[in-house]
Every structure is written in structure tokens, then in C-alpha cells.
Amino acid sequence: MRPTRIEISRSALEHNIAVFRRLAPTQRLIAVVKANAYGHGMTLVASAIEPLVDMFGVAFAEEGAALRAAGIAKPIVVLMTPTESDAETIVAHSLDVVACSLDVVHRLDRTAAAHHKRVRLHVYVDTGMHRDGLAPEEVPALVDACAQLTGIEMVGICTHFARSDERDCTMTTEQNRRFAEVLDRLAQRGYRFPIVHAANTGAALQHPATYYTALRIGIGMYGIAPGETIAPQLRPALRLVTAVTATRRVGAGEPVSYGTHYIAQRSTTIATIPIGYGDGYSRMLTGKAECIIGGKRYPIVGAICMDECMVDVGDDPIAVGDEVVLIGTSGGESITARHIADRLGTIPYEVTTLLGERIPRVLVE
């Protein structure tokens, strides 16, 4: 069996959840596990943390259905705009949804009524990100309409911040002001919601005024602070490891890997490791990546292949079977998702989410 695997630390997940519980001890916690839990393994993570959180957030109805199939019983909210074709899945699996369109709400209402059920709805307010949701002035009419539907139960209202992970809080403050105004207008009409959620990880770390009654925590739950936020109290939950599968001596002037972009400058040992861009370990890391073997950093050299990479280990006594860490800590050395993101010119979210399904995820303490 290929030794490449992703280790997910249960204790790190528990620790990070506790961090956010301390920040907002009276609020509900919505654990966002969309996109395969940001690459960490959706059903594995959700099953491990279900007793510690109040709800789960997913992107699409099929993700919610997969969680139900895995035995997850707590509320699951589908955070992306549902389509009319999602109605049967949403009703069948008792999923919460965000409301962005009255046409879709009517379809949900009809489907729920046909099955003698009710769909739990969260009104989604677009306060400035302009991706999903209703403009503030459109919200009262939709809420009035939903209140007349027997298959709809309005349980929540939400918004999403575009720049809450930045030091400049101007836009977040303005978005939050618009959201609060909507809440006030609805309260004047007699509408109040038990689940009011706006704070994502960035806002939870920096903007207590956004807490309301629930926090939506995604990347922070996995131990990664987003954007410009600083949260040394968080612990990365993911460790990407493999093992050396072959070693060979290469003479000075000899090439390594496709394209012969790397030429050995001296006689050296090249170790082969079984991971590549087919696993989501980006080929764009060619010439930029490192790994840790036995607590020491080594450069990954030559073009990253679909299934393998090569490591220049010099004259060190590296052997087949030695553990190789690509994300995580070994000895006194550490490589984080942010380190890799910086070298790719992207964000840590993409680094972990790219990690493919063919890498097994295992839960460790």
C-alpha cells in the first residue's frame, strides 16, 4: 500500500473548537465542512467533532446528503444558493437552506408539503459581497412571503463578510451595520430569528460585534488563521506524510525528472517519494518545495510528477521507508499550509482543499 496519507489530529480539532467556544461562550457554533472539510475529510471530521458543535455548514445539498448517510444527525445548513433541482434532496435529508430566491423557496415549500415536512430556512442578506443573497431592501418582502408558507420554517438569518480577515476593518464594519439595520427593520415587523450568523473565522478572531447568536467557523477550526489575522493559539489539524520508496546516487551534471530542469551540481543521493500533482500537490511547486525527513529540511528537486517527487538528500543516510513530511512538523522543523501557499502565490485554503481523494485520511490523536 502506498505510504502517502493525511493525518488529522482529533486533539487539534478539539482544541481549536475550544478556542472559538471561549471567544463566544453563549453562541452556537456552526462547523463548516464543505469541500471535503477544506481537504481534511468531510465525514471523518464531522463524525469526530459532532458532539462538540451545534450545526454543520456545507456548500451543496449533496454534501449534506453525504453527511446524513454517514450518520450525522445535527442540523446541516446548505450555505450556497440552492437550485430548484435540490428540493427533493433537501427535504429528504432534512437540510437547512439559505434563501436567496422566492422561486426556489416556493419549490421547497411545495416539495416539503408533499412529504408532510417543513424546510428550515435561513434568510441570506447580501450586505456588500455581491455573490449570493438578497439586497437589504428585498429582505422584508421575502420574509413576509415565507411567513405565509406552511412548508417553510424561518429559523435563521445570515450574511457573509468579504474582508473580515484583513486588518482594515472598514468594510466589515459597514457590512455589519447594514446587517444590523435589516435585523432592526425585521424586528419592528415582528420577525426574530433564533439563529443569526455573520461571523466567519476572520470576524470571530477580530470583530466581536459580529457574533450575534452563532459563529460559522471554517478554516480556523482546522488550525489555520485566514488572511492577515494572527491566531497563534490555533493548532493545525492536518499533517501530510509519505515515505521514501527509492534512493539512487546521481553524479554531478546528471538531470533529474521531466524536462531535465534540475541538474545535480555534485554527486548526491536522490530519494523518490510517492506523491505528485495527481494528489493535488501542485506542479507549480516545482523548484520551490521542501520536505522534512528525520527532522531535517531537504529540497524537492526536478519537475513534480503526477505520482512522484524527487528529493535531494545529499550524502545523508536516508533509507527506503523513512517518513517524509510535506505539511506538518518533524523534530524541530515545520512546513505549514501557509508556507506552501506563499510559494504558490495563493491562500492556505487552496493548498489543503486541493489535496485529492486518493490520499487516505486517517484520524489520529
pLDDT band at 108 (very low <50, low <70, confident <90, very high): very high
> What is each CA distance from 310 to 14, 15, 263, 275, in whole angstroms?
35, 35, 12, 10
Helix axes 139-146, 170-188, angle to 10 degrees: 40
Q: Which residue, among 357, 264, 343, 358, has the nearest Cα to 310 in the 3D structure?
A: 264
Domain 10-222 has CATH 3.20.20.10: yes
Determine the pLDDT at residue 55: 98
Asked if domains 10-222 and 238-364 share a fold, the reply is: no
Contact between 89 and 111 under an 8 Å Cβ cutoff? The reply is no
Find the catalytic residue in 34, 191, 298, 349: 34
Domain residue limits, the chain: 10-222, 238-364
Determine the pLDDT at residue 284: 98
Sequence-distant (≥ 6) Cβ neighbours of residue 263 within 8 angstroms: 253, 254, 255, 256
Percent residues over pLDDT 70 in the chain? 100
Q: Is 74 a catalytic residue?
A: no
Determine the pLDDT at residue 84: 86
Task: Assess whether pLDDT exceeds 90 at residue 331.
Answer: yes
- For the segment 226-230, the average pLDDT, to the nearest whole number, is 96
Determine the pLDDT at residue 39: 98
- For the segment 89-99, the average pLDDT, to the nearest whole number, is 97
Task: Assess whether pLDDT exceeds 90 at residue 188.
Answer: yes
pLDDT in tens, 21-57: 999 999 999 999 999 999 999 999 999 999 999 999 9
DSSP conformation letters of 206-260:
H-GGG-TTEEEESGGGGT---TT---TT----EEEEEE--EEEEE-TT-EESGGG
CA angle 85, 86, 87 (to 5 degrees): 95
- Give strand pairing partners of 44: none
Strand 55-58, strand 255-256: pairing? unpaired
Find the catalytic residue in 38, 117, 222, 258: 258
Q: Is 34 a catalytic residue?
A: yes
CA distance 170 to 163: 9
CA distance 350 to 39: 9
Q: Which is the CATH superfamily of the domain at 238-364?
A: Lyase, Ornithine Decarboxylase; Chain A, domain 1 (2.40.37.10)
| Mean model confidence pLDDT for the chain | 97
CA distance 348 to 346: 7
User: What does the block give as the cell for 161?
Assistant: 463578510
pLDDT in tens, 289-319: 999 999 999 999 999 999 999 999 999 999 9
Contact between 156 and 54 under an 8 Å Cβ cutoff? The reply is no
User: What does the block give as the cell for 166?
Assistant: 484583513
DSSP conformation letters of 122-187:
EEEB-SS--SSSB-GGGHHHHHHHHTT-TTEEEEEEE---SSTTSS--HHHHHHHHHHHHHHHHHH
104: left (phi over 0), alpha (psi -120 to 50) or beta: alpha
- The model carries a pTM of 0.96
User: What does the block give as the cell for 63?
Assistant: 454534501
Contact between 133 and 121 under an 8 Å Cβ cutoff? The reply is no
pLDDT in tens, 254-269: 999 999 999 999 999 9
